[in-house]
Amino acid sequence: MALPRNCKRISLLERVISAERTIPADFTEPIFAIYHNDFISIIGADPEATVALEAKHPFAHEAGVYIPNDESVFVTSNKYLPSGAAKGKIVVSKLSRDSKGNWTRHELSTGVRMGNGGINYKNGILFCDQGSGNRLGGLVYMNTQPPYATTVLLDNYHGRAFNSVNDVVVSADGTIWFTDPIYGYEQGFKGMPQLPCQVYRFDPETSDVRVMADGFGRPNGICFSPDEKTVYITDTDSVHGDGTTDPMRASTMSVTPHTPSDSFSRRANAVRYAFDLVERNQSPFLSNRRLFAMADVGIPDGIKCDLKGNVYSGCGDGVSVWNAGGVLLGKIMIRGGVANFCFGRKGEMFLLNETKFWVVRVAKNVQGALLHGMGIKV
């Protein structure tokens, strides 16, 4: 079967013999790399990746929260040093699409000071605020309309400051799950860590906050499978906040079966894990931790599922896609890598590539599980 010009089928030999590889390390144009035939049904007959916005400084690093009502995507930058500034900063931007498909960017002034991951929450956005200096970080709710008012939902674990709250997801039961690595301390804007690098669950109804998983080097991305029986968590321990890397440390994803309670290109490899969510005395616990996948280029940072249970993660060469069994189906290869991304309307993805914001067209039946699970129509 003939493939579109921007697609490349990866042969069996190319997967195991270095000399057979045909995609150069310094590729420039986006490539849809097909490792398994099932990836064709995901990208469709005419996949396309285009740069919708570009800036001189990095603006598109994390969050990636799509708001269907006004066709906008909210993003956070990585920490950077503006020209002439004395210290680095992180900015929140609103990217808006008009009726003709043109995008514009507006840098916002908000109460989210050192933002990172984010998610749709009620009628606004729930941001991970890493905090800075003596200012506590945590979970901050922000309105999506001017003046973008913010409310702190959580800023400590029983009196101890979080390290650098990184990524967040909301369960169908209304509880909020988030990761907390030490990148803020390593990047020089947070004090000495007071807690291990862990994964937490916060119940806004009862104000109960609990540690759900430990044993991570640097827990990063987190998401649920569409049926919420599995939790995927990435560990980016191989990349440190000071820019150094250690390929001997984790760059993987774990998976945890989950049953809701009734109530950069320089990046080294990272791991995804999975866990089972079980209930004991009407309380949820994670069990049966297992390795799900390891990124072959860069770290798996942001992570999300589509409605069929396929797992997508931003990596050092773009977005990699695995099926629920951990088989690599293919990649949307973007030079410089993708830290995070989000799904838009059916058949659409938005990729964050630091100084570039990409709009990707895939098969029309592909839809992200997150917005669908929250009852948000796209």
At 16-25, the pLDDT tens digits run 999 999 999 8
Region 319-328: mean pLDDT is 96
C-alpha distances out from residue 58 to 28, 282, 372, Å? 19, 45, 30
Q: For residues 110 and 148, is the Cβ–Cβ distance under 8 A? A: yes
Distance CA 323, CA 254 (A): 14
Whether residue 235 has pLDDT greater than 60: yes
* Measured distance CA(378)–CA(360) in Å, rounded: 16
CB distance 303 to 315 below 8 Å:
no
Q: What is the mean pLDDT of residues 180-202?
A: 94
Compute CA distances 136 → 112, 169, 193, whole Å.
11, 20, 12
pLDDT category of residue 211 using cuts at 50, 70 and 90: very high
Q: Of 84, 97, 34, give the one whose Cα is nearest residue 57.
A: 84
Lookup: tokens for 60: 């598109």
| Domains detected in the chain | 29-373 (2.120.10.30)
Model confidence at 265: pLDDT above 50: no
User: Residues 275, 228: contact at Cβ < 8 Å?
Assistant: no
Using an 8 Å Cβ cutoff, are 349 and 378 in contact? no
What is the structure's pLDDT at 276?
Answer: 78
- The residue that leads in pLDDT, 187 or 243, is 187
pTM (2 d.p.)? 0.91
**Distance (Å, whole) CA 202 – CA 38:** 37
Give the Cα separation of 299 and 239 in Å (integer): 8
Question: Can you tell me the mean pLDDT for 287-298?
Answer: 90
Is residue 73 over pLDDT 80? Answer: yes
Residue 256 has pLDDT above 70, yes or no: no
Is the pLDDT confidence value at 248 over 60? no
Q: Find the mean pLDDT for residues 177-203.
A: 94
